[in-house]
A and B are shown apart, each in its own frame.
Chain A
Amino acid sequence: MLELQNVCFKKDNKLILNNINIKFDETRFYVITGPNGSGKSTLAKIIMGLEKPTSGKIIFNGKDITDMPVDKRSKEGISFAFQQPVRFKGITVYDLLKISTGKDLCKKEACGILSKVGLCALEYVDREINASLSGGELKRIEIASVIARNPKVAIFDEPEAGIDLWSFKNLIQVFKELESNYSGITIVISHQERILNIADQIILMKDGKVSKVGKKEEMINEILNGSSCCKGVNDCE
């Protein structure tokens, strides 16, 4: 179980996360949604350890990891696909996947991972992760780098951005597999109805706060209709 307790995050005197309390359970598929700027990416970075909470605690399987650096958290099984993937001069997709899996994986294995995210593997495995890749390609390689780790906690930040419809279907498949194959926690930040639809739990964020948490069935209509008048939904939990 992963738990955030009273997590606040301030930057430049601005309160970006305001007293976040969430429990993530194993074998659950969570979708975090909410308007731009509501703090979703920041929350993901806090879980990965890329940002440090100003106050509050992060507990992972009973252990306080609030002060644990990012590489250690990664070794504990937390993994994060960036909203904006990073480019590297001279580092190939194959190199990245080797780092990801932490072993000297063979090209065939690397290709296997790539095909899961809908990349025709042979074409990509030796490509450099530089400006020559399109946004969508980069995004899929980013997702592959997380899947390759078989993480206990996998966080994907707006994975659908820049990905065409055909690949999108495959992506949903990948998330479904992740959900059923690993007894882990999958957290996807997304605005997409189809991703919301496969969620067990939906977390709605607004202005740096968790404005609602609930089962998909309870949340989805309200979110898709864009209304926030139905206070009742919160109460039925």
Chain B
Amino acid sequence: MVQVAVRGLMIVNEIDKNLLDEIDVSDFKESEAYNIRKNGKSIKRKINDYVDIEPKEDGKGINVYVKENTYFGIVHIPVILTQSGLKDVVYNDFYVGKNANVIILAGCGIHNDEHEDSEHDGIHRFFIEEGAKVKYTEKHYGNGRGTGKRILNPVTEINLKKNASMTMDSVQIKGVSKTKRVTKAKIYEGATLVVKEKILTSDNQVAKTDFVIDLKGDGASCNVTSRSVATENSYQEFKSVVTGKAKSYAHVSCDAIIKDDAKVKAIPEIYAKDADANLVHEAVIGKIAGEQLMKLMSLGLSEKEAEDVIIKGFLK
């Protein structure tokens, strides 16, 4: 196997590098903290003055501490799985101090050339203190020629204290056979959560996503946008339960393009427990609009090219 040097810090092989590049980068900057987990073990870690990363005692995860008032921190926590048949469960906790500002890049790449199933379940908990700002990005990717399934079941629990904010971008574009994503959030006074989710499924893939959001204080708000494309024989399910207990605001929108023999189900639930809660849910499922195809074809694209452009834009 070809060995590839990455910044002289670490030697990874081509498969590892490819997985890392798909979900994040394989090349971190000097000022960035990181923890790389491969096949159930941390293989490389770097901390700095603002970000501390400690392994949990049982080795099944890490605690990440971001100091208060951190001006601009960056943390990478990629996970790669290349050993077929491995089920890796990891618990990562993030403690973000008051008024800190941090970007967290997580993701999981699975390469499975064999016939046994590979699975990664990442349970991520966020404790975000007053006034802190977190940008969290998560990418899921699978590849490999094997018949073994590539399974990912991420759980994200978010606690946003007063006036804190978090944006969460999650992307699953390719190669994941089965996924169930659960995101739970408690949003307190003046805090904001923005979630953007993008999913593309093909073959016989199954993707389920489940949001449980509690708006607990005045001025709490959340905005969830899910865009997905379901093709071939795949199945997608989008469920969201938003409860507004105060003068709060939520906007949830689920927008799906469906093709071939795919199936998509959207189950919206909004529950206002306060007369001042303003909760909106939109769900749209449909084929690519014929006139969109027509317009692009009238500019010279073939039907297939037009479809690709529309889907690529939709998931951008």
Residues of A within 8 A of B (CB): 48-50, 69-71, 74-75, 79-80, 82, 85-86, 88-91, 95-96, 99-100, 102, 145, 149
Contacts and interface: CB of A to CB of B under 8 A. Distances in A.
Contacts of B227: 89
A99 B296 contact: yes
Contact of B300 (A75, A88, A95): A75
A79 B298 CA distance: 7
Nearest to B257: A89
B298 A91 contact: no
B8 interface: no
B316 to A, nearest CB: 4
Nearest to B306: A71
Contacts of B302: 71
Interface stretch (B61-69, B150-158, B287-295): B287-295
Interface of B: 227, 255, 289, 291-292, 294-303, 309-310, 312-316
B297 A71 contact: yes
A90 B298 contact: no
B313 A74 contact: no
A74 B295 CA distance: 11
Contact of B298 (A50, A89, A102): A50
Contacts of B313: 88-91, 95
Given A91-B309, A91-B313, A99-B309, A86 B297 contact: no
A99 to B, nearest CB: 5
B300 A86 contact: no
A70 B315 contact: no
A74 B300 contact: yes
B201 to A, nearest CB: 18
A149 B310 contact: no
A159 B299 CA distance: 18
B299 A74 contact: yes
A102 B300 contact: yes
A147 to B, nearest CB: 12
A187 to B, nearest CB: 14
> Looking at A71, A82, A96, which has the most chain B CB atoms within 10 Å of its CB?
A71
Contacts of B309: 91, 95, 99
A89 B292 CA distance: 10
14 contacts: A48-B298, A71-B298, A74-B297, A74-B298, A75-B300, A82-B295, A88-B292, A88-B310, A89-B255, A90-B313, A91-B313, A95-B309, A95-B313, A102-B300
A85 B309 CA distance: 17
Given A71-B303, A99-B301, A50 B294 contact: yes
Contacts of A96: 299
Nearest to A91: B313
Contacts of A70: 294, 297-298
Nearest to A142: B295
A149 B315 contact: no
Contacts of B295: 82, 85-86
Given A75-B300, A99-B299, 17 more contacts: A49-B298, A50-B298, A69-B297, A71-B297, A71-B300, A74-B297, A74-B300, A82-B295, A86-B289, A86-B295, A88-B292, A90-B312, A95-B309, A96-B299, A99-B301, A100-B299, A145-B299
B300 A91 contact: no
B310 A91 contact: yes
Contacts of A69: 297
The 9 A-B pairs with the shortest beta carbon distances in the complex, nearest first, are A90-B313, A91-B313, A90-B316, A74-B300, A86-B295, A71-B297, A70-B297, A86-B291, A90-B314
